[in-house]
Amino acid sequence: MSKQGLASRLAWIGGGLALLFAFAPGSAWANCTVTAEDPAAHRIAGQRTIGGVGKRGTDCKEKKIFFVRLREHKTLWFDKTLAEVRFTLSNAKLSVRYPCRGAGTKTIFTEAWVQGDTKYKSRYKEFEACG
């Protein structure tokens, strides 16, 4: 193979890689931060409530559907959705609340994501006897 053929082949591979990186998931939106805060217990009008917050950072400029969920972790089974909110926004906080029900300990986490993108989870937090 001639040097010219090798050079054009490497240039094509290099261009293909540059194109691949330009459209790789997350690369175009790398500056748009999404976070899920740890759930917290509150008392609202005498009712024990568990709340979670998801945030899209101020660096998120494009309006997209943003989801925030409170979920109960179930060992060796599917996690149970307790409450969910969704809203079309560019950058803001979105809160979700669950009126605590039932006896026993619940392991709950917050989940936040933009439609069609990666889901972000908070740490698991245990809440004693909701009833």
Find the domain containing 4 and state its range.
1-30
Tell me how many domains the chain contains: 2
Of the pLDDT bands very low, low, confident and very high (cuts 50, 70, 90), residue 37 is very high
Q: Are 54 and 38 in contact (CB under 8 A)?
A: no
pLDDT for residue 119 is more than 50: yes
The pLDDT, as a whole number, for residue 31 is 66
Same domain, 1 and 19: yes
Same domain, 22 and 83: no
Same domain, 109 and 46: yes
Same domain, 26 and 49: no
Taking Cα atoms as reference points, which of 69, 65, 66, 71 lies closest to residue 55? 66
pLDDT for residue 98 is more than 50: yes
Residues 5 and 2: their CA atoms lie apart, in Å, by 5
Same domain, 56 and 87: yes
Enter the DSSP assignment of 37.
P
